[in-house]
Amino acid sequence: MKVIGIRFKEGGKVYYFAPNENETYEEGMQVVVETSKSTEFAYVAFLPKEVDESEVVQPLKPILRIATDRDREQVRRNLERKPQAMKIAQEKIEKHGLKMKLIDCEFAFDGNKVIFYFSAEGRVDFRELVKDLAGTFRIRIELRQVGIRDETRLLGGFGPCGRECCCAGAMPEFRKVSIKMAKVQGLSLNPGKISGLCGRLMCCLSYENDYYAEAFKKMPKVGSEVMTPEGRGTVVSDNMLKMVVRVKIEKDGSLVYRDFPVEEVRFKSKKEEPGPEDESEEIPAEEGEGAVSPAPEESVRPPRERREKRREGNRSPRRESGEQRPNAQRKEGGKGQPKERGKGKDRRRERQNGQPGERQQKEHAARPPREERRPSGGEE
């Protein structure tokens, strides 16, 4: 399928559109395209090319035309309306007492809608504000709350490197950045040195992370002992761009610092020193997935043989010889002395019936057996 790349903002995300067969395009050319919401003014990111249909989100919207002078004039008028719209919106926000920071606004290409971007710590009830703005501008109003990284992208600025922020000028989408990238690249973990204008980790940490990740595996660990052409020493620092290792060597009672290429240094590879997180072991699949857990040696024996072994293991020498266990540890009145049967039962009966339990036992013993009893009031 033939598609053409379209970008709505400089440095923004590229979208696929269907090119017009009757027109010739150039990179950076201004065009008018049809989107799912309305007609938009955009720029050509790359020329038509063939791509797989699985990479295209259907339905593929078309390019309506190459931008004309009238279209450019419409865009210019929309930009002129922006400062006044920002001023009015800020006054309305202060009037309603809403805790929100107005960042930017954007008019649609046809001028029938305006979008206001704002940031806030939590959710904001701006329903009354929308009604007030709609009554002032007499067009559709849309308010969008954005995060702190999107705020920096909209406002722009210059980073610590002296160039424009990556998110504003050279990065269509935010990339995942982690503190591990800074550790691998040997950067200082001071938040002030690895954070951007938004207060988050700098996006540029992900640009060269693949190279540093491969170089990190080939370099010795800082603080480890290595063997150099001048003797054994301790690694002080690694230069992963030049692939050079700085080693501290003790010679004649003094410390000497030398730089060696990593090829001339012998050390234990990091792969040979697995840590708690790197150690891997075979974990059987969960039950129901065809996994069989390793059984102990006894479990493979026949059931009868296993039962006989269990009986033999439970037999004690004293039990086999017939010797009785001594009762010397038991003391009179102590815990070891056996209780007389029925004594506790008699006490309970004395409390319940007020009669001694022995008397009841004698009366029960004096009764004739069940076979000799005769029914009351009857004869044989």
What's the confidence (pLDDT) of residue 278? 36
What's the confidence (pLDDT) of residue 55? 79
Mark the ranges of the chain whose per-residue pLDDT is less than 70. 270-380
What's the confidence (pLDDT) of residue 69? 93
What's the confidence (pLDDT) of residue 13? 82
* Token digits of residue 123: 């959710």
d(CA 99, CA 367): 95
SS (H, E, C) the chain: CEEEEEECCCCCCEEEEECCCCCCCCCCCEEEEECCCCEEEEEEEEEEEECCHHHCCCCCCEEEEECCHHHHHHHHHHHHHHHHHHHHHHHHHHHHCCCCEEEEEEECCCCCEEEEEEECCCCCCCHHHHHHHHHHHCCEEEEEECCHHHHHHHHCCECCCCCECHHHHCCCCCCCCCHHHHHHCCCCCCHHHHECCCCCECHHHHCCHHHHHHHHHHCCCCCCEEEECCEEEEEEEEECCCCEEEEEEEECCEEEEEEEEHHHCECCCHHHCCCCCCCCCCCCCCCCCCCCCCCCHHHHCCHHHHHHHHHHHHCCHHHHHCCCCCCCCCCCCCCCCCCCCCHHHHHHHHHHHCCCHHHHHHHHHHCCCCCCCCCCCCCC
Q: What is the dihedral of CA 338, 342, 344, 347, to 10 degrees?
A: -140
Place of tokens 């009764």: 367
What's the confidence (pLDDT) of residue 281? 31
What's the confidence (pLDDT) of residue 315? 58
Whole-prediction pTM: 0.58
* Token digits of residue 325: 């266990």
d(CA 279, CA 273): 9
Q: Is 123 exposed, middle or buried (0-12, 13-18, 19+ CB in 10 A)?
A: exposed
What's the confidence (pLDDT) of residue 133? 92
Q: Is 185 exposed, middle or buried (0-12, 13-18, 19+ CB in 10 A)?
A: middle
What's the confidence (pLDDT) of residue 159? 83
For Cα atoms 253, 255, 260, give the angle at the middle one, nearest 5 degrees.
135
Q: Is the dihedral of CA 151, 153, 155, 158 positive or negative?
A: positive
CB of 187 closer than 8 Å to CB of 194: yes
